[in-house]
């Protein structure tokens, strides 16, 4: 998404300026073209040379340093910006932006930019919470700018509070989301995608449960890629790995919780993906107190959980339903059986006996089955890449229908 996008990064004078070096590196790694503008105060915290080396571009610091007679540099920079990121954004720069003050290279360029702006405030908690700063932030939001909420944690002042600049990867995620939101040409624009991920937990007592090895990685990759393709994504998750940015996240525990949430969003969904490993059974009794060790044997009676995918298949209207098949043998036979029995439009079969595929791995290797179509085998690659292939094939099938 950020490939070849022209990002103008404004670094203003706060202690978090040092994190802007890593942010620049991550933008460059994502394929963006980064031009950096620094205020005088920012240069007291970090050298322009560092940013020049990392961005492989000249760093702008002075409005009157006009090297090229053909252009006015701050206007040229403003006009050739696809995305603006102000990180860290000090209370002073936020106040200038909110009030149209243009008295240095950063503020004049910011006033001239029409491209979307992502503002990343970072400052002392009391400065952040001051009504003047809060009202300036509200004003900027009313102008259409996006504010990334600061993190709470240990501040440079030596105490805990809100005001820390979020980690650079979160800023990259927020920048990506901002561009996705505004790109009308993406193939899943205005489509609703709901995804179930992770291994459900079935309680036995307050401290014990039945679960499986699913990490949620496959479902989270699908959520991130669907979001990058422009979809409005709802991720129903039984996993505890870090939530992807820019998706509606719903945490669940048991199969029945997951079913309730999936059905809540099913009616309006365009694509539904069951990447979760749902417990087929649950304990018939759930003790409200910790079960004590007593006899040598303990019998646990299990009862069947609902089959979420099959239930949705039965009630299918316009939804495109994608299920997974976690198998250790006879992949084709079992996947085809699930495709028909659960009335899915696609079954993604993975051989979970392989070390680099299926549960908990960062990679996967799958075969895609669809009614009346030849199976498509996808060789071992990262779960993000597999997710992209799955969605690309689903979009093609939907468009051909």
> In angstroms, what is the minimal distance from the CB of 187 to ligand PMT?
23
Q: Left if phi > 0, otherwise alpha if psi is -120 to 50, otherwise beta: which for 244?
A: beta
Taking CB under 6 A as the criterion, which residues in 77-116 touch ligand PMT?
none
CB closer to ligand PMT, 182 vs 314: 314
Segment contacting ligand PMT (CB under 6 A): 55-63, 122-130, 133-141, 277-285? 277-285
Look up tokens 């949620």; give the residue: 216
CA distances from 22 to 1, 113, 138, 170, 314 (A): 19, 24, 28, 12, 50
Residue positions annotated with a catalytic role: 212
Taking CB under 6 A as the criterion, which residues in 247-266 touch ligand PMT?
255
- Please pick, from the candidates 140, 277, 339, 393, the single residue that binds ligand PMT as defined by CB under 6 A: 277
CB 113 within 8 A of CB 100: no
Please list, in sequence order, all residues whose beta carbon lies within 8 angstroms of the beta carbon of residue 189, skipping any fewer than 6 positions away.
Answer: 183, 230, 231
Separation of alpha carbons 230 and 267, rounded Å: 20
CB closer to ligand PMT, 33 vs 357: 357
Give me 31's structure tokens: 């394929």
282 touches ligand PMT (CB under 6 A):
no
CB closer to ligand PMT, 10 vs 324: 324
> In angstroms, what is the minimal distance from the CB of 209 to ligand PMT?
16
Q: Half-sphere exposure of 19 toward its Cβ, with a 13 Å CA cutoff?
A: 19
CB closer to ligand PMT, 100 vs 371: 371
CB closer to ligand PMT, 34 vs 386: 386
> In angstroms, what is the minimal distance from the CB of 98 to ligand PMT?
44
309 touches ligand PMT (CB under 6 A):
yes
23 touches ligand PMT (CB under 6 A):
no
Separation of alpha carbons 134 and 220, rounded Å: 34
> In angstroms, what is the minimal distance from the CB of 153 to ligand PMT?
29
Separation of alpha carbons 163 and 145, rounded Å: 19
Please list, in sequence order, all residues whose beta carbon lies within 8 angstroms of the beta carbon of residue 393, skipping any fewer than 6 positions away.
Answer: 346, 368, 370, 376
Segment contacting ligand PMT (CB under 6 A): 41-49, 108-116, 137-145, 323-331? 323-331
Segment contacting ligand PMT (CB under 6 A): 83-91, 94-102, 272-280, 291-299? 272-280
Taking CB under 6 A as the criterion, which residues in 209-238 touch ligand PMT?
214-218
- Please pick, from the candidates 1, 325, 331, 367, the single residue that binds ligand PMT as defined by CB under 6 A: 325
Taking CB under 6 A as the criterion, which residues in 352-391 touch ligand PMT?
352, 358-360
CB closer to ligand PMT, 62 vs 362: 362
> In angstroms, what is the minimal distance from the CB of 260 to ligand PMT?
13
The secondary structure element, H or E, covering residue 235 is: strand 232-237
Please list, in sequence order, all residues whose beta carbon lies within 8 angstroms of the beta carbon of residue 195, skipping any fewer than 6 positions away.
Answer: 219, 222, 223, 226, 233, 234, 235, 236, 272, 273, 275
Please list, in sequence order, all residues whose beta carbon lies within 8 angstroms of the beta carbon of residue 230, skipping any fewer than 6 positions away.
Answer: 180, 183, 186, 187, 188, 189, 190, 191
**Which spans of this chain sit near ligand PMT (rule: CB under 6 A)?**
214-218, 255, 274-278, 280, 305, 307-309, 323-326, 338, 350, 352, 358-360
């Amino acid at each position: 998404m950020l490939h070849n996008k022209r990002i103008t990064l404004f670094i203003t004078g706060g202690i978090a300026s040092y994190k802007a070096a890593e942010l620049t590196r991550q933008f460059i790694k994502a394929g963006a073209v980064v031009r950096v503008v620094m205020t005088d105060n920012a240069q007291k915290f970090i050298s322009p040379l560092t940013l020049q080396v990392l961005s492989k571009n000249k760093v702008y610091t002075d409005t009157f340093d006009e090297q090229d007679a053909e252009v006015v540099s701050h206007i040229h920079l403003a006009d050739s910006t696809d995305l603006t990121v102000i990180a860290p954004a000090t209370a002073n720069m936020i106040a200038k932006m909110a009030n149209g003050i243009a008295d240095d290279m950063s503020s004049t360029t910011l006033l001239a930019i029409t491209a979307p702006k992502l503002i990343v405030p970072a400052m002392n908690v009391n400065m952040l919470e001051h009504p003047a700063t809060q009202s300036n932030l509200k004003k900027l939001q009313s102008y259409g700018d996006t504010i990334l909420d600061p993190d709470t944690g240990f501040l440079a002042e030596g105490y805990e509070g809100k005001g820390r600049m979020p980690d650079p990867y979160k800023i990259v995620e927020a920048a990506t989301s901002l561009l996705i939101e505004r790109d009308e040409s993406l193939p899943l624009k205005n489509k609703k995608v709901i995804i179930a991920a992770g291994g459900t937990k079935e309680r036995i007592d307050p401290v014990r449960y039945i679960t499986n090895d699913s990490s949620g990685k496959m479902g989270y990759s699908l959520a991130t890629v669907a979001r990058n393709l422009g979809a409005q994504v709802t991720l129903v998750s039984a996993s505890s790995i870090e939530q992807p940015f820019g998706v509606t996240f719903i945490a669940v525990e048991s199969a029945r919780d997951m079913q309730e949430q999936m059905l809540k969003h099913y009616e309006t969904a365009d694509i539904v993906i069951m990447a979760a490993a749902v417990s087929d059974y649950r304990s018939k009794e759930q003790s409200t107190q910790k079960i004590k060790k007593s006899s040598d044997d303990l019998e646990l009676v299990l009862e069947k959980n609902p089959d979420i995918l099959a239930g949705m298949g039965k009630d299918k209207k316009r939804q495109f339903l994608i299920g997974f098949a976690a198998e250790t043998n006879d992949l084709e036979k079992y996947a085809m059986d699930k495709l028909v029995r659960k009335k899915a439009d696609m079954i993604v079969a993975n051989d979970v006996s392989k070390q680099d595929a299926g549960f908990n791995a960062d990679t996967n290797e799958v075969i895609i089955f669809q009614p009346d179509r030849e199976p498509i085998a996808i060789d071992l690659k990262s779960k993000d890449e597999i997710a992209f292939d799955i969605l690309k094939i689903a979009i093609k099938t939907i468009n051909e229908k």
